């Protein structure tokens, strides 16, 4: 750590409910989520340095904000008044204390809204640390010595899959001097939202091809005949030279998944994402065997490192698809990536949601530079909806993510966007619904 700076301490914390009305144009719609309003809990952790404010976000589809907001407010007790020195030195123990809060752990443990709220808080601490070091988060982690990095990670309940010593060996074996820091990480565009018309989809696909994007994902699961027509429509535009993946959002049972993917295989999908219930490891194993060589990607809703361990050990997936706001921050995400390395499973990032793209680009750089040193067979999700609300939107070059230069995670929302979309009294919500947005002290949306 930079020793010339004064000790940094957390002074106070702000928690805001931000909601965007994306359901009005079907953005984010799929076979399960018919009317999503892309939303987030926006955490601002203030410190004794007024220039360093840690930002954490928790993505939901609207009303989920209410539950996450309440949990975040309870969990802030774990970080109030802490110094950065203490956080860095005790990150593993602090992570364990937050995740296993003595009264709230009953509402998990390590899953659901509780784990998502914890992720927002923990990522805000990494944001502070990186800003203190005057670096983006990915650069902070790349520059950490392996022994220091490993001590921030928690291996509870997964040492039968990977030990701390094995993980340290993986980190030490990487020659970072041979890593191209200007690497571009291939992206895939989630384009075929269920509620989009063919006309709108055509425009999106044509524009993205001009950007050099080579990977695409469409939603399936409403009706197999319509899914086939949509896949053919997309292939006619992007051709078979580009990657096409599919996402069923967990709505099929095992037999439906196998039957439907055998119908869709003519369109050469690279993977099917969440072909069945995200917790059903046994069915995933059968599906993975039955639809080969189509790959099975899952993990967007995989609650914790233990569940990932079981998917990986039992070959219930062929692509690990993590979500940084589903796992409890970088600390937990990193150990999942180390398991991927040991078991030789590619990582394809899920980042479809508010703030997830900004956070996710750091994970891609960390995976490439610290763990896998490869982009072969890897794609990171990209969506451009709502990027206009961020101070530091991610940058694409020839269809690839470039390493971000903004300090921390670069997930700061613009002040005008916060004033416009904070719920329920932001300008948008008052203008659209008037005072009716709150009725008898209850939100009506």
Q: Which residues are catalytic?
A: 219, 350
Residue 360 burial (10 A CB sphere; 0-12, 13-18, 19+)? buried
Q: Is the CB of residue 42 less than 8 Å from the CB of residue 52?
A: no
403 vs 439: CA distance, rounded Å: 46
C-alpha distances in angstroms, 270 versus 298, 308, 333?
13, 21, 24
φ, ψ for residue 216, nearest 5 deg: -140, 150
Angle in degrees, CA 24, 25, 26, rounded to 5: 100
Rounded to 10 deg, the angle between the 281-290 and 305-313 helix axes is: 40
C-alpha 162 chain-centroid distance:
23
Q: Which of 367, 389, 369 is nearest to 378 (CA)?
A: 367
Q: Which residues of 435-444 are buried (b: 16+ CB within 10 A; e: fewer)?
A: eebeeeeebe
327 vs 92: CA distance, rounded Å: 15
């Amino acid at each position: 750590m930079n020793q010339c700076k004064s000790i940094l301490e957390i002074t106070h914390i702000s928690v805001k409910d931000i909601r965007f009305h994306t359901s009005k144009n079907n953005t984010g719609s799929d076979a399960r989520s018919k009317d999503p309003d892309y939303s987030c809990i926006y955490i601002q952790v203030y410190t004794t340095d007024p220039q360093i404010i840690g930002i954490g976000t928790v993505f939901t589809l609207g009303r989920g904000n209410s539950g996450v907001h309440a949990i975040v407010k309870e969990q802030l007790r774990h970080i109030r008044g802490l110094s950065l020195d203490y956080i860095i030195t005790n990150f593993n123990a602090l992570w364990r204390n937050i995740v296993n809060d003595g009264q709230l752990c009953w509402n998990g443990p390590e899953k659901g809204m509780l784990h998502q709220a914890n992720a927002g808080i923990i990522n805000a601490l990494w944001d502070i640390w990186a800003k203190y070091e005057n670096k983006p988060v990915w650069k902070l982690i790349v520059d950490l010595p392996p022994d220091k990095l490993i001590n921030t990670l928690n291996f509870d309940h997964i040492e039968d899959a990977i030990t701390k010593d094995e993980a340290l060996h993986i980190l030490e074996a990487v020659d970072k001097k041979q890593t191209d820091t200007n690497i571009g990480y291939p992206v895939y565009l989630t384009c075929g939202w269920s509620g989009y018309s063919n006309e709108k989809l055509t425009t999106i696909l044509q524009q993205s091809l001009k950007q050099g994007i080579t990977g695409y994902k469409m939603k399936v699961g409403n009706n197999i005949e319509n899914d086939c027509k949509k896949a053919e429509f997309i292939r006619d535009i992007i051709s078979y030279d580009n990657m096409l993946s599919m996402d069923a959002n967990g709505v099929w049972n095992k037999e439906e998944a196998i039957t439907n993917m055998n119908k869709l295989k003519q369109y050469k999908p690279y993977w099917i994402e969440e072909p069945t219930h995200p917790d059903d490891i046994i069915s995933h194993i059968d599906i993975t065997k039955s639809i080969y060589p189509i790959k099975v990607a899952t993990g967007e809703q995989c609650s914790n490192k233990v569940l990932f361990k079981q998917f990986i050990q039992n070959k219930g997936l062929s692509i690990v698809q993590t979500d940084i706001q589903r796992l409890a921050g970088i600390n937990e995400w990193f150990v999942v990536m180390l398991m991927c390395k040991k078991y030789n499973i590619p990582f394809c990032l899920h980042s479809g949601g508010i703030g997830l793209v900004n956070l996710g680009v750091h994970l891609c750089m960390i995976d490439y530079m610290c763990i896998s040193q490869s982009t072969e067979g890897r794609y990171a999700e990209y969506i451009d909806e709502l990027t206009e609300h961020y101070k530091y939107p991610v940058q694409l070059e020839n269809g690839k993510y470039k390493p971000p230069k903004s300090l921390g995670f670069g997930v700061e929302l613009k002040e005008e966007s916060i004033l416009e979309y904070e719920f329920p009294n932001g300008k948008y919500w008052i203008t659209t619904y008037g005072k009716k947005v709150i009725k008898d002290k209850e939100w009506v949306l």
